[in-house]
């Protein structure tokens, strides 16, 4: 692969999950990575005990890995992507309670990039009411993130795996991003371009890259079909990443794929070790 000046990070909520949470940062570092991202690790606790937050912070610091992205609370993940911010009642309140906790945790590690999953449609609730609540909660999160000069990410999921999610295309995600920025005036909401989800939706990835890279603050990859490592499916990552670079994207590319049958440490043979560091080689 020819992308020698691309920065890759590994998602510790889908890779290295055969290990306890606190052992994953060191395992990622042993595999050569110096940057990681996470879904919210405490699926039932938007506000976990401080001791749990401290233990994860120490594990990341001791491993010598940089946290570059964190999801806000979204309910039970891994599993079907669901989100919490558009669900009325207790789930919405749990999302809001999580926002300052997640921001405090991430910023203590130098991370100011946060992903907010929109959420699924709920039976018996008017979709317009859900969308109004989601916009209010996204604006709430964007304002909180703005206080630390951070970025709020919004992504499109895929309809086959998340049929009740109302954001299953790049244009729809961009509509929501534009609405959040209009509501806050902060212009800190950006697109999380997940090439796996977009390809599952049948979108033209070259067109998505050309149209939306300017509004993109993070990219995630997995091959399709199967959500495995690059090379296990049909996507041309050499071409896609080269196109991203030519379109002006110079941020991290998150590895958010399933490791396959073996341990996660064996799921990176496609990526030369020098390219796993936060500061890539350019030689």
Q: Assign 123 a pLDDT band (cuts: 50, 70, 90).
A: confident
The reply to whether 256 belongs to the active site is yes
Question: Which residues lie across from 38 on neighbouring strands?
Answer: 70
Per-residue pLDDT of 161-171, as tens digits, reads 988 899 999 99
Q: For position 145, what pLDDT does the model report?
A: 98
Sequence ranges of the domains in the chain: 7-276
Helix (H, G, I), strand (E, B) or coil at 64: coil
pLDDT at 281 over 80: no
| Residue 155 bears catalytic tag | yes
pLDDT number for residue 276: 87
Give the tens place of pLDDT for each residue, 27-77: 999 999 999 999 999 988 999 999 999 999 999 999 999 999 999 999 765
Mind listing the pLDDT tens digit for each residue in 64-110? 999 999 999 997 654 555 677 887 888 899 999 999 999 999 999 99
Residues 6+ away with beta carbon under 8 Å from 273:
32
Q: Which of 37, 91, 155, 203 is catalytic?
A: 155
Q: What is the mean pLDDT of residues 275-281?
A: 69
How much of the chain, in percent, has pLDDT values that exceed 70? 94
Q: Tell me the CB-side half-sphere exposure of residue 41, using CA atoms within 13 A.
A: 24
Q: Which residues pair with 188 in a beta bridge?
A: none
Residue 205 has pLDDT above 90, yes or no: yes
Question: How far does Cα 263 stand from its chain's mean position?
Answer: 22
* Helices H / strands E in the chain, number of each: 8, 8
Rounded Cα distance between 42 and 60, Å, is 16
Task: Out of 37, 91, 203, 256, pick the active-site residue.
Answer: 256
* Span 222-250, average pLDDT: 97
What is the pLDDT, as a whole number, of residue 98?
97
Classify 7-276 by CATH class.
alpha beta
Of 274, 199, 283, the C-alpha closest to 237 is 199
- Average pLDDT value over all residues in the chain: 93
For 17-31, 124-138, 210-224, 266-280, which range has the lowest pLDDT when averaged over its residues?
A: 266-280
Q: According to the model, what pLDDT value does residue 212 have?
A: 98
């Amino acid at each position: 692969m020819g992308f020698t000046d691309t920065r890759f990070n590994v998602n510790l909520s889908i890779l290295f999950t055969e290990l306890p949470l606190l052992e994953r940062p060191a395992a990622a570092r042993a595999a050569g990575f110096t940057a990681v991202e996470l879904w919210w690790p405490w699926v039932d606790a938007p506000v976990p005990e401080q001791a749990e937050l401290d233990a994860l912070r120490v594990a990341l610091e001791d491993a010598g890995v940089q946290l570059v992205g964190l999801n806000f609370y979204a309910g039970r993940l891994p599993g079907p992507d669901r989100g919490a911010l558009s669900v009325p009642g207790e789930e919405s309140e749990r999302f809001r309670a999580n926002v300052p906790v997640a921001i405090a945790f991430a910023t203590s590690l130098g991370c100011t990039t946060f992903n907010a999953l929109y959420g699924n449609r709920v039976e018996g609730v008017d979709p317009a009411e859900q969308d109004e609540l989601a916009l209010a909660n996204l604006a709430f999160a964007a304002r909180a993130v703005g206080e630390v000069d951070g970025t709020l990410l919004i992504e499109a999921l895929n309809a086959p795996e998340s049929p009740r999610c109302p954001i299953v295309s790049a244009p729809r995600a961009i509509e929501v991003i534009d609405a959040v920025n209009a509501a806050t005036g902060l212009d800190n909401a950006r697109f999380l371009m997940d090439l796996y989800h977009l390809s599952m939706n049948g979108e033209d990835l070259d067109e998505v890259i050309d149209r939306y890279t300017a509004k993109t603050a993070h990219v995630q990859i997995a091959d399709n079909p199967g959500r495995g490592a690059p090379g296990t499916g049909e996507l041309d990552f050499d071409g896609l990443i080269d196109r991203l670079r030519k379109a002006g994207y110079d941020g991290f590319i998150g590895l958010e794929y399933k490791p396959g049958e073996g341990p996660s440490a064996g799921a990176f043979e496609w990526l030369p070790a020098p390219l796993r560091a936060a500061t890539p080689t350019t030689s």
